[in-house]
Each structure stands twice: as C-alpha cells, then as structure tokens.
Amino acid sequence: MISESNSDIICISETWLTGYGDDVITTELTPPGFKKISYPRLSGAEGGVCVINRDRIKLRSERVTDYSSFECLKIVAFDIAFIREKQLYKENVRGRIR
C-alpha cells in the first residue's frame, strides 16, 4: 500500500510500538525503497509516531522536549527545497484535548 502510493513522506500516529521487539513490525511496515523514523511510546499503552519516507529523500530527526501525554517528532528534510515538518499527536482524554 505504501510503496504503491505516490507519497514521498508519510506520517503515522498511534503506531502502538513500544520500542522493544518491534523490528519485525517495522520491517513489514517499511517497503523496499523506503526508510522509517519511529518514536514509540516508551511508557503506557498505545501512542507512538512514525515517519516513512522514500530513500532518495534525506531526512534527519530531532528530538523535541519529552512530554508525558504525547509524542512529538521533529523532521528536517534536505534536497527537496528544504522542508521543515513536525508531527504531533495528542491523545483525546475523556472526550477533550488537554
């Protein structure tokens, strides 16, 4: 599905990856010709963010301040007119965003 899309950069939230034993999942998630940057939720359940991009696009990830209620991943892209992108996901707690 990802490799068949015309997308160069794909941002995914709610990966539910933990950072432990996720290699099989992330290998299946990342098709040939793509690479991934993942920031799993290290405590608690669910959460996590991931960026999958084509190999030809050079990305660098930069950690942002750690927050206990959400993950944030800052991505800087080069070689494509310099793009700066942030992926932020805030979980809905009791029907409202806090």
**pLDDT 10s digits, 6-49:** 788 888 888 887 777 777 777 788 889 999 888 887 777 778 88
- CA-CA-CA-CA torsion for 1, 88, 48, 62, nearest 10 degrees? 100
Range of the domain at 34: 9-90
Q: Is there a domain that residue 1 lies in?
A: no
Q: Is there a domain that residue 50 lies in?
A: yes
Q: Is there a domain that residue 96 lies in?
A: no
Half-sphere exposure of 28 (CA within 13 A, CB side): 4
Q: Is there a domain that residue 2 lies in?
A: no
Q: Is there a domain that residue 86 lies in?
A: yes
**5: CB partners within 8 A, 6+ apart:** none
Can you tell me the distance from the alpha carbon of 49 to that of 87, in angstroms, rounded to the nearest whole number?
A: 8
- What average pLDDT does the segment 37-64 reach? 81
pTM of the model: 0.67
Q: Is there a domain that residue 3 lies in?
A: no
Q: Is the Cβ–Cβ distance between 33 and 10 less than 8 Å?
A: no
As for how many domains the chain has, the answer is 1
pLDDT of residue 98: 44
